[in-house]
Amino acid sequence: MAKLIVYMTSHGCAEKAANLIGDMLPGEVRVVNLENTDPPPLDSFDTVIIGGSIRIGSIQKRIRKFCDKQIETLLKKQIGLYICCMYEDEKARVQLLNNYPEVLVNHAKATGVFGGELDFNAMNAFEKMIIRDVIGITVNISLFDEKAVREFVERMLDPVASLRSQ
Ligand SMILES: Cc1cc2nc3c(=O)[nH]c(=O)nc-3n(C[C@H](O)[C@H](O)[C@H](O)COP(=O)(O)O)c2cc1C
């Protein structure tokens, strides 16, 4: 059966992760940006990976809505959850836990924190102010963690992890 990746992004980082995961997974993979496409019916997918990015502590609303609306169906599938964000380690993990329903996190075969990127050229004045004044960063930076993406995909493909989540 096919695998589905649904994601949302503000400036492209979570999209980069979605496409990388899509390239690494074997078999048929459909990658859907919820910004401009409705999620397809989930019946034809055995695996659903959901990803978004964190802004002022929160993931995109449509990601939350997708999880809440599809929760019963998602609990019958293999799922993976990820975020892109600038915080690292425990603070990043807390953001993942705060932004996905707990039952989905517990059911997930893999969860991933893939780091983030800040591109001042892509930000509006409000975003620049938040990043400079609240987060204290003034230059473009990439903490995107390709290794974390690879490890996430390995866990998604791990048959033992699959048995554990059943
Ligand atoms: C306005 C703004 C607010 C942000 N707030 C947070 C935050 O609360 N926590 C965090 O870890 N990263 C925060 N970030 C960093 C983003 O999560 C990071 O830039 C990420 O790569 C964005 O991914 P995207 O391009 O897929 O949207 C913020 C970035 C912006 C521009």
Query: pLDDT by residue (tens digit) across 92-150?
Result: 999 999 999 999 999 999 999 999 999 999 999 999 999 998 878 999 999 999 999 99
- What is the Cα–Cα distance from 15 to 17, expressed in whole angstroms? 5
Q: What is the percent of the chain with per-residue pLDDT over 90, rounded to a whole number?
A: 92
**pLDDT score of 165 more than 50:** no
Q: Which of 135, 137, 140, 144 to mutate to test the pocket of ligand 1 (most atoms within 8 A of CB)?
A: 135
pLDDT band at 1 (very low <50, low <70, confident <90, very high): confident
Query: What pLDDT, on the 0 to 100 scale, is given for residue 159?
Result: 80
Of 162, 110, 161, 152, nearest to 20 by C-alpha is 152
Q: What is the pTM of this model?
A: 0.95
Strand partners, 3: 29, 47
Residue identifier of the C-alpha nearest atom 2 of ligand 1: 55
Residue identifier of the C-alpha nearest atom 1 of ligand 1: 127
Name all residues whose Cβ lies below 6 A of ligand 1.
9-14, 53-57, 84-87, 95, 116-118, 123, 127, 130-131
Q: Please enumerate, as own/partner, the contacts of 12-19 that have beta carbons within 8 Å and a separation of 24 or more.
A: 12/117, 12/122, 13/53, 13/84, 13/114, 13/116, 13/117, 13/144, 14/51, 14/52, 14/53, 14/82, 14/83, 14/84, 16/144, 17/51, 17/82, 17/84, 17/112, 17/114, 17/144, 17/149, 18/49, 18/51
Of 52, 47, 2, 17, nearest to 157 by C-alpha is 47
Q: Which fold does the domain 2-164 belong to in CATH?
A: Rossmann fold (3.40.50)
pLDDT band at 166 (very low <50, low <70, confident <90, very high): very low
Query: What pLDDT, on the 0 to 100 scale, is given for residue 64?
Result: 98
Query: pLDDT by residue (tens digit) across 51-96?
Result: 999 999 999 999 999 999 999 999 999 999 999 999 999 999 999 9
- For residue 86 the two structure tokens come to 């600038």
Residue identifier of the C-alpha nearest atom 6 of ligand 1: 55
According to DSSP H, which parts of 12-145 are helical?
13-24, 61-69, 71-74, 89-99, 102-107, 125-129
Query: pLDDT by residue (tens digit) across 12-60?
Result: 999 999 999 999 999 999 999 999 999 999 999 999 999 999 999 999 9
Q: Where are the domains of the chain?
A: 2-164
